[in-house]
Amino acid sequence: MAKLIDGRAIAKKVYVDLRREIGELKARGVTPGLAVVLVGDNPASRAYVRSKDKMCRELGLHSVKLELPASTTQKELLERVKELNRNSSVHGILIQSPPPEHIDEAAIVRALDPRKDVDGFHPENVAKLVLDDASGFVPCTPLGVQRLLTESKIEINGAHVVVLGRSMIVGKPLALLLMQKNRNGNATVTVVHSRSRDLAEITRSADIIVAAIGRAEFVKADHVREGAVVIDVGINRVEDAASERGYRLVGDVAFDEVSKKASAITPVPGGVGPMTIAMLMANTLKAARQ
């Protein structure tokens, strides 16, 4: 049976370090500030924004929560972004995704000051990741995955990592991060996706599998070789009449069958999720420092 990689416990460890570093910055007269902008009232987004705001307050960060109506225009949102770019008490800005359909998300991201883009999606930060420039910001979920592996003493150096999914949020930046020439990188990375041929054959060759394909319980036991490490980034709602809420949350990995073959695995919830918020806080601290 696989060892459980506890994201909540590792996130707590990260917060201990962050509290100390935030205290040191505050002693020098700098309080790191994070602004989170939510457009519309998507319930999942609202819950995320609440948890981010709560964590900011617990760590003693300056927190700005902007909740704008779904009717907010592109022009109005761009104005708000410009105000936050100019606000010296805000070091990090995050636009909660996805915005309403009439908003051009890519244009909003490009309007962010790249030095405040703690989500790591601005073209300048993407370029810095490609160039191994440590001054840039790496998207929070890939950073969280890397931290889970290093804190769990799982060898990345020289390992074959197969990433399922090629999104700009997880798959692509994670591949770049784990390929970097440093002690938390040096992996051989293969990226597979819905159009990949012989997908199970490729995933079976992996030492580490990262599932971020957005399909409930897609990765089955026959995708995984005995003793592999499995990191499940997915979070999907599946109907469940037996549950009080009428649904349950599952990952992209069929946990029950895969955990019998893997040497270590992340649960959903409680695996990658808590680390994403922890890395957002770490990026905000880095932005304040820089």
What's the rounded Cα separation, in Å, for the pair 143 and 41?
Answer: 28
Residue found under tokens 């680390």: 275
List the strands of the sheet with 188-192, edge to edge.
Answer: 3-4, 264-265, 229-232, 208-211, 160-164, 188-192
Give the CB-side neighbour count of residue 6, counting CA atoms within 13 A.
5
Joined tokens for residue 115: 């030095």
What's the rounded Cα separation, in Å, for the pair 190 and 210?
Answer: 10
Examine the residue annotation and report whether 52 is marked as an active-site residue of this protein: yes
| Amino acid at site 214 | G
Strand 247-250 versus strand 236-239 pairing type = antiparallel
CB-count burial class (<10 Å; 0-12, 13-18, 19+) for 8: middle
What's the rounded Cα separation, in Å, for the pair 223 and 221?
Answer: 5
Joined tokens for residue 56: 């900011």
- Give exposure, 252-271, as e/b (b: 16+ Cβ within 10 Å): bbbbebbbebbebbbbbebb
- Give exposure, 274-283, as e/b (b: 16+ Cβ within 10 Å): bbbbbbbbbb
Q: Which of 3, 6, 41, 52 is catalytic?
A: 52
Strand 236-239 versus strand 62-68 pairing type = unpaired
Q: Which of 116, 117, 119, 232 is catalytic?
A: 119
Q: Which of 96, 128, 146, 261 is catalytic?
A: 96
Catalytic amino acids?
52, 96, 119
